[in-house]
Amino acid sequence: MLLFCPGCGNGLIVEEGQRCHRFACNTCPYVHNVTRKVGPRGRLSAGRAAAQPLLPGPWAGTFTCLTNNILRIDCHWSSPDLDPGSGPWLLFTSNQAPGSKHKCIFQGSTCTLELPPEEVLLPSDNFTITFHHCVSGKEQVNLVDPQFLPRRHVKLDPPSDLHSNVSSGSCILTWTISPALEPMTMLLSYELALKRQEEAWEQAQHKDRIVGVTWLILEAIELDPGSTYEARLRVQMAMLEDDVAEEERHEGQWSEWSRPVCFPSPQRGGLPVPSWGWLDSRFIAVPVLLLLTGLTYLLFKLSTR
């Protein structure tokens, strides 16, 4: 298989070593080194690249790959017009588990890779991505990324099973996440969108910085009495402090929005108002006047004795 230089498009020379892979071009100064270091128990793990990430040449377009941090990788290809019969696909080759290779076959401009259950994504995972397609019956290969770190390209699945529980004075929203993400609960950050049912989502109020929980309380005072509301959630990996180890740092973008849930605004606390409204003042004034008249007559009688 032949790899191509992103600068001039000519073939690259690949020199493989135990600790370093070197990609060099014969016709231009392009050189890219990928270092590998020996980890615990002799397992190879990828180190930092000595140069900027290697990208495909302009003839291949650009690729964006995002993971759900469990078993799925979704890729989008911003491609030029290639022959539909070229059969383009991406190959993900693990830099840590020898022999672990997976194809992501494009359907139009997108492809989805579902990993086997035993290869659930870990923070330490690292892949080499190559782009494959056929030209005149011959397979051509472009190097897309020699060190793809899934934890730096995360787009989680939206929260599921969003439910509401309305009681006097508040509404409790609850939701669930995939069991595979439960060990990372404290690293998940949510955003809530809330609107009246008759409003568009563009008019929704937003509440963010909801971190490390799978429930939220909305107080009745935050909502308009007598209205029906809709709420939905999205999630992303929380931004960690700068002193967090590189191996534990995750980066990505917001998930898609969850399915919305509808609920009536809870009744506010305090004395309930009768359904017929406040009593007419005339019905209150008449008995008060009679009471005062009676007290005056009684006092007059007592004073004359």
Burial of residue 34 (number of CB atoms within 10 Å: 0-12, 13-18, 19+)? buried
Equal fold, 12-151 vs 156-264: yes
What local confidence, expressed as pLDDT, does residue 210 receive?
94
* Beta-carbon contacts of residue 86 (< 8 Å; ≥ 6 apart): 133, 134, 135
Q: How far apart are CA 31 and CA 48, in angstroms?
A: 15
Structure tokens at 10: 């000519």
What pLDDT shows up at residue 189?
Answer: 95
Q: State the Cα–Cα distance between residues 235 and 253, nearest whole angstrom.
A: 9
Top CATH class of 12-151 equals: mainly beta
Instruction: Tell me the mean pLDDT per 10 residues along the chain, length 305.
Output: 50 54 56 43 35 44 91 88 73 92 92 94 93 84 93 95 94 94 92 96 94 94 93 91 70 95 86 42 54 70 65
Burial class (CB in 10 A: 0-12, 13-18, 19+), 299: exposed
Total residue length of the chain: 305
Structure tokens at 75: 């890729």
User: Does pTM surpass 0.95?
Assistant: no
Of the candidates 180, 177, 178, 183, the residue with the CA atom closest to the CA atom of residue 248: 183
Give the pLDDT of residue 45. Answer: 36
Quote the pLDDT of residue 291.
72
Residues facing 261 on adjacent strands: 231
Token pair of 13 as six digits: 């020379």
Cβ(31)–Cβ(51) below 8 Å: yes
Which residues, 6 or more positions from 159, have their beta carbon under 8 angstroms from its beta carbon? 175, 176, 177, 190, 214, 233, 234, 235, 255, 258
pLDDT score at 32 = 52
Q: What fold characterizes domain 156-264?
A: Immunoglobulin-like (2.60.40)
Where are the domains positioned within the chain?
12-151, 156-264
**Dihedral angle over CA of 115, 116, 121, 122, nearest 10:** -150
Tally of CB atoms within 10 A around 9:
15
Three-class secondary structure of residue 203 per DSSP: helix
| Sequence-distant (≥ 6) Cβ neighbours of residue 146 within 8 angstroms | 21, 23, 32, 34, 49, 53, 54, 128
Q: What is the pLDDT of residue 27?
A: 55
The pLDDT score that the predictor gives to residue 289 is 64
